[in-house]
Amino acid sequence: MKKRQLMRRKRVLVTGGAGFLGSFLCERLLALGNEVLCADNFFTGTRDNIAAILGNYRFELLRHDITFPLYVEVDEIYNLACPASPIHYQHDPVQTTKTSVHGAINMLGLAKRTGARILQASTSEIYGDPEIHPQNESYWGRVNPIGPRSCYDEGKRCAETLFFDYWRQHRLPIKVARIFNTYGPRMQPDDGRVVSNFVLQALRNQPITIYGDGQQTRSFCFVEDLIEGLIRLMDSPDDVTGPVNLGNPVEFRMLELAQMVIALTGSASKLEYSPLPQDDPRQRQPDIGLARQLLDWQPAVSLEEGLGRTIDYFRQQMDLGQIEG
Ligand code: NAD
Ligand code: UDP
Ligand code: UDP
pLDDT tens-place string over residues 58-67: 999 999 999 9
Q: Which atom of ligand 1 is nearest the CA belonging to 83?
A: 2
Q: Is the dihedral of CA 306, 308, 312, 317 positive or negative?
A: positive
Residue nearest (by alpha carbon) to ligand 2 atom 15: 106
Q: Residue 55 has what pLDDT?
A: 97
Residue 207 maps to a domain: no
Q: Residue 280 has what pLDDT?
A: 83
Residue 143 maps to a domain: yes
Residue 254 maps to a domain: no
Residue nearest (by alpha carbon) to ligand 3 atom 17: 194
Q: Which of 44, 48, 68 to mutate to test the pocket of ligand 1 (most atoms within 8 A of CB)?
A: 44
Burial 133-172 (b: 16+ CB within 10 A, else e): ebbebebebebeeeeebbbbbbbbbbbbebbbebbeeeeb
Residue 120's Cβ-count burial label (10 Å; 0-12, 13-18, 19+) is buried
Nearest to 196 by CA among 35, 69, 307, 46: 307
Q: Which of 72, 110, 162 to mutate to test the pocket of ligand 2 (most atoms within 8 A of CB)?
A: 110
Q: Residue 14 has what pLDDT?
A: 99
Calpha distance 105→66 (Å, rounded): 9
CA 21 to chain centre: 5
Confidence of residue 323 (pLDDT cuts 50, 70, 90): confident
Give the lowest-confidence range in 3-12, 57-66, 174-183, 239-248.
Answer: 3-12
16 lines ligand 3 (CB under 6 A): no
Q: Which atom of ligand 1 is nearest the CA belonging to 18?
A: 9
Residue 210 maps to a domain: no
Residue 154 maps to a domain: yes
Judge whether 12 and 6 are in contact, CB under 8 Å. no
Query: Which residues partner with 179 through β-bridges?
Result: 123, 246
Confidence of residue 1 (pLDDT cuts 50, 70, 90): very low
209 lines ligand 3 (CB under 6 A): yes
Residue 234 maps to a domain: yes
CA atoms within 13 A on the CB side of 87: 9
Pocket of ligand 2, beta carbon within 6 A:
69-71, 105-106, 109-110, 112-113
Q: Residue 190 has what pLDDT?
A: 86
Residue 106 maps to a domain: yes
Confidence of residue 129 (pLDDT cuts 50, 70, 90): confident
Tens-place pLDDT, residues 158-206:
999 999 999 999 999 999 999 999 999 999 998 899 999 999 999 999 9
Residue 255 maps to a domain: no
Tally of domains in the chain: 1
160 lines ligand 1 (CB under 6 A): no
Q: Residue 307 has what pLDDT?
A: 98
Give 302 Cα–ligand 2 centroid separation in angstroms: 42
3-state secondary structure at position 218: strand
Residue nearest (by alpha carbon) to ligand 3 atom 23: 280
CATH assignment at residue 138: 3.40.50.720
Q: Which atom of ligand 1 is nearest the CA belonging to 64?
A: 20
Position 51 pLDDT exceeds 50: yes
> Closest-lying ligand to the alpha carbon of 149?
3
Residue nearest (by alpha carbon) to ligand 2 atom 11: 69
Judge whether 292 and 232 are in contact, CB under 8 Å. no
Structural domain that includes position 15: 2-182+222-249+285-301
Residue nearest (by alpha carbon) to ligand 2 atom 19: 109
187 lines ligand 3 (CB under 6 A): no
247 lines ligand 1 (CB under 6 A): no
Mean pLDDT (whole number) for 49-60: 98
For residue 173, cis peptide bond before it (omega within 30 degrees of 0): no
